[in-house]
């Protein structure tokens, strides 16, 4: 089983990348590809740039990486209630090549933030929108107050949040009959 995991952020210290990476560790024996959105940096999308120069290689690379995966683990960072610019730019470019960006792949959709809502607004946006881009969302989980509830050594530290997270992992695993 091949997993593609990423935090939908270009922060070098992305907490969402940390959460996506942590989630991937629960899939024993999986081949895990953790990508960094900085490797898919492209000019700010504009219809004029597209008409003039076509699609950047990075947009195709992003679609190819998704195409190789059996499961997507995506953790959404929230900027002002919505997607980060870095993620939205990739989504916009990629969607111009293939509207079915997520290619019907099963997706575990996560979010976290330093705030109490754990990125619930961007989660709602993604949950509503991604199916239009052929995302097959199996389950979702938002981790509030990352700095309080997550440790690098122990992962999710709050017992109730950990239990909820594990049930989401279990549901995702059951799709692959590796529960």
Ligand X SMILES: Cc1cc2nc3c(=O)[nH]c(=O)nc-3n(C[C@H](O)[C@H](O)[C@H](O)COP(=O)(O)O)c2cc1C
Residues near ligand X, by CB under 6 A: 7, 9, 11, 14-16, 77-81, 113-115, 117, 119
| Closest separation in Å from C-beta 173 to ligand X | 24
Residues 62, 90 contacting (CB under 8 angstroms): yes
19 or 169, CB closer to ligand X? 19
63 or 122, CB closer to ligand X? 122
| Closest separation in Å from C-beta 47 to ligand X | 25
| Closest separation in Å from C-beta 85 to ligand X | 9
110 or 173, CB closer to ligand X? 110
| Closest separation in Å from C-beta 49 to ligand X | 24
Residues 76, 42 contacting (CB under 8 angstroms): no
14 or 89, CB closer to ligand X? 14
DSSP string, 11-45: -TT-HHHHHHHHHHTTSTT-EEEE--GGGG--PPP
List, in sequence order, the alpha helices (H) in the chain.
15-24, 47-53, 57-67, 85-97, 120-129, 146-149, 159-174
Look-up: residue for tokens 């947009």? 59
């Amino acid at each position: 089983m091949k997993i593609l995991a990423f935090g939908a952020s270009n922060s070098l210290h992305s907490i969402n990348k940390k959460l996506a990476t942590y989630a991937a560790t629960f899939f024993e024996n999986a081949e895990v590809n953790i990508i960094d959105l900085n490797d898919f940096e492209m000019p700010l999308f504009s219809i004029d740039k597209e008409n003039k120069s076509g699609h950047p290689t990075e947009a195709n690379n992003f679609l190819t990486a998704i195409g190789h995966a059996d499961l997507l683990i995506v953790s959404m960072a929230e900027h002002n209630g919505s997607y980060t610019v870095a993620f939205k730019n990739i989504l916009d470019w990629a969607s111009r090549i293939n509207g079915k960006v997520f290619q019907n792949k099963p997706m575990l959709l996560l979010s976290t933030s330093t705030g109490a809502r754990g990125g619930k607004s961007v989660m709602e946006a993604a949950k509503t929108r991604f199916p239009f881009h052929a995302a097959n969302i199996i389950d979702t989980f938002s981790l509030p107050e990352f700095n309080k509830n997550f440790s690098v050594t122990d992962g999710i530290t709050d017992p109730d949040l950990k239990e909820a997270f594990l049930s989401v992992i279990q549901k995702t695993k059951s799709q692959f009959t590796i529960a």
